[in-house]
Amino acid sequence: MKGLGELERSIMDILWAESNALTAREVGRLIADRDLAPTTVMTVLDRLTRKGFLERTRDGRAWRYQPAESRDAYIAEIMLEALDLTGDRSAALTRFAQAVSGTEAEILRRALTELEDE
């Protein structure tokens, strides 16, 4: 399963919340609850890039990082990978459907209807 460690998740949360690509220095400033060395932030950003979570572009001497996909896409991928772990996808989906709220069920109904209409 394509997972994130605690520090990786904190950095991804920062980048998902931003509308613009950020440098390592900018990310480091936004991690308020940690006293991290700049090299640690750069190492984690590089690792996330190699894992496919981030894309980076050159900006002078620095790199700017942005998520390769949205948080929603990442969560959906985790959910699909979890379904792959079960021996009975139908049973898992049924159990999931029974656990969601009425509002969430309606959202699922609309999404499925839209897919059928395509």
Per residue in 47-100, pLDDT (tens digit) is 999 999 999 999 999 999 999 999 999 999 999 988 989 989 999 999 999 999
Distance CA 35, CA 29 (A): 9
Return the pLDDT at 1. Answer: 42
In the chain, alpha helices (H): 6-17, 24-30, 38-50, 71-85, 89-99, 102-117
Over residues 21-30, the pLDDT tens digits come to: 999 999 999 9
Range 27-55 average pLDDT: 91
pLDDT band at 2 (very low <50, low <70, confident <90, very high): low
